[in-house]
Amino acid sequence: MVRFRLFPSIFAFLLLFLINAAQAQLVSGPMLGHTELRTAKIWVELVPGSTATLVVKSTKDGKEVFKTSETTGKSSWYAPVTFDVVGLDMNTSYDYEVLVTGVGEKKPVVAGKGTFTTSELWQWRKPAPDFSFLAGSCAYFNEPQYDRPGKPYGGDSSIFETMAKEKAGFMLWLGDNWYLREPDYFSKWGIWYRAHRDRSMPILKDFLKAMPQYAIWDDHDYGSNDADKSFSLKEESRKVFTNYWANAAYGFNGEGIYSRMSQNDCDFFLMDDRTYRSSDDMTPTVYGKPNPNKRMWGPTQMEWLKNALLNSKAPFKFIVTGSQTLNPASPFDCLQDYPVEFEELMAFLDAENISGVVFLTGDRHHSEVIKYARKDKYPLFDITSSPLTSGIGRVFGTEKDNPARIANTLVEAQNYTRITISGKTGERIMKVEFVSIKGEVMGTWSISEKELKNK
Ligand SMILES: [Fe+2]
């Protein structure tokens, strides 16, 4: 009799527990964002209306050092949350847990956990530490009812499992990080939907928390194919971008997504190649002269870049932007097709004797390193990394034997890039490796900081 009476109550308890567990879940994440000496950002997406509590403990002694909660709006379409963890110690490891309380529930459940390590204060104390980071562009997850008919465009997503195993300092997403399709980019909701849906892919889970994630955008995660400054929903695209990434900063005065980020002795200028961009179809020249109206970054961002470069003492100064910059044979858009802006940048680098400039780009659906020789100046290089999971774009026509390409750097397969910075002060070496889905090196190139200085 007792057993018989207990059974329904146990059953009811289990049911309640299951309902609670079902609601108290993360939609996506946790994802590690901008992490530096004494702060870190941890991103999650919740079911709208639920509450997340972040608890951070010292890995060494298990002592709680930080706790914060956020309740999301029940009526919002989606509910991404970025926690700012502050007041941390330098060069220290922390464990964290994300507890979620579902809508209408009282008890939180642990919905995610991870670890992170703050940076080391090496300045004024010792040489800059060696480090590596990853980069990649063009990530496409199939969703057949909204995709173009025929062969699926998205490839093997297990590349993210390979990347999750890397012991890298951070990941730099180089644009086209998700692909807005026709059902997405005609509405504000659609732009949110795509970021929400692609971010929730389970195969990303380990990678997103394995290392800090930084991002710029290109046309497909900003708007439609080749979208430019005229894209009507660009303010909503910026909202989505800033809600789904956790960079240190995004532009100024509520415009653009550009910012500067540093890792050890290297600086990264994360450019916005869409918000201020003229149409790719605008004529590059007028009456034989560069068209002053055709710009990719726009005058305000260019002015910012120049000052940021002057302010940098880094041996390698990475200008990170979606479109290629130096490829004379590209049949597609390239900074050189914006001659006024390209010439302005080249004149600035010359006049101010800026050393160590390297471009890091995506978009092309293949990887390569392009060399741009300059008279009496050190050559410039553009490292293009693409695609992570989208279709392959094989080079054709005159680009096949592109004389500007560094030999043995063309990779026409899914890949990501691993860049390692090592060596003594004044002799730092940058090693670039294009890595396959399985973790094999498919192309490699190295350069010393000494080769990126004018004589
Ligand atoms: Fe693109």
Q: How far is the CA of 153 from the centre of ligand 1 (A)?
A: 14
Q: In which order are the strands placed within the sheet that holds 79-85?
A: 26-35, 40-46, 79-85
Q: What angle do CA 40, 45, 49 make, to 5 degrees?
A: 120
How far, in Å, from the CA of 349 to the mean position of ligand 1? 26
Beta bridge partners of 255: 252
The CA dihedral of 179, 79, 133, 393, to the nearest 10 degrees, is -10
Residues 6 or more apart in contact with residue 400 via CB below 8 angstroms:
none
- For residue 154, report the distance from its CA to the centre of ligand 1, in Å: 15
Q: Which residues of the chain have pLDDT under 50?
A: 1-4, 6-7, 13, 15-22
The Å distance, Cα 17 to ligand 1 centre, comes to 45
Distance CA 327, CA 346 (A): 15
Query: Could you tell me whether strands 416-422 and 131-136 are parallel, antiparallel, or unpaired per DSSP bridges?
Result: antiparallel
pLDDT one-digit tens code per residue, 296-354: 999 999 999 999 999 999 999 999 999 999 999 999 999 999 999 999 999 999 999 99
Cα 226-255-138 angle, rounded to 5 deg: 35
Tokens in use for 83? 């926690």
**Beta-strand (E) ranges in 137-258?**
171-173, 213-215
pLDDT at 264: 98
The Å distance, Cα 386 to ligand 1 centre, comes to 10
Cα of 251 to ligand 1 centre, how many Å? Answer: 20
C-alpha 385 – ligand 1 centre gap (Å): 12
Distance 291 CA to ligand 1 centre (A): 23
CA 363 – ligand 1 centroid, Å: 4
Domains along the chain?
A: 2-117 (2.60.40.10), 131-452 (3.60.21.70)
Nearest CA-CA partner of 377 in 402, 409, 345, 350: 350
User: Which tens digit of pLDDT belongs to each residue from 91-128?
Assistant: 999 999 999 999 999 999 999 999 999 999 999 999 99
- Taking the C-alpha atoms of residue 17 and residue 13, their distance in angstroms, rounded to an integer, is 6
Asked if residue 138 lies in contact with residue 365, where contact means CB atoms within 8 angstroms, the answer is yes
For position 16, what pLDDT does the model report?
47
Please tell me the distance from the alpha carbon of residue 74 to that of residue 290, in angstroms, as a whole number: 52
The answer to whether residues 278 and 295 touch, using CB atoms and an 8 Å cutoff, is yes
Residue 130's identity, in one-letter code, is: D
Ligand 1 centre to CA of 320 (Å) is 14
Question: Phi and psi (nearest 5°) for 136?
Answer: 180, 160
The whole-model pTM stands at 0.94
What spacing in Å lies between the alpha carbon of 226 and ligand 1's midpoint?
Answer: 7
Closest CA to 435 of 153, 163, 220: 163
Question: Rounded to whole angstroms, what are the CA distances from 286 to 127, 282, 289, 296?
Answer: 50, 10, 5, 17
Distances (CA, A) of 206 to 12, 114, 139: 34, 9, 16
Q: What is the pLDDT of residue 20?
A: 46
Task: Spell out the residues 6+ positions from residue 256 whose beta carbon is closer than 8 angstroms to its own.
Answer: 238, 250, 272, 275, 276, 301
Map residue 284 onto helix, strand or coil.
coil
How much distance in Å is there from the Cα of 174 to the middle of ligand 1? 9
Q: 140 C-alpha vs ligand 1 centroid, how far in Å?
A: 12
The arrangement of strands across the sheet holding 377-384 comes to 259-263, 266-270, 317-320, 357-361, 377-384, 368-374
Task: Identify the pLDDT of residue 131.
Answer: 98
> Within 10 A of 315 (CB to CB), how many other CB atoms are there?
24
Residues with CB under 5 A from ligand 1 (ion): 176, 218-219, 363
For residue 412, which phi and psi values (nearest 5 degrees)?
Answer: -110, 65
Ligand 1 center to 137 CA (angstroms): 9
First to last CA, the chain: 94
Cα dihedral 263, 327, 363, 188, rounded to 10, equals: 90
Could you give the 3-state DSSP secondary structure of residue 319? strand
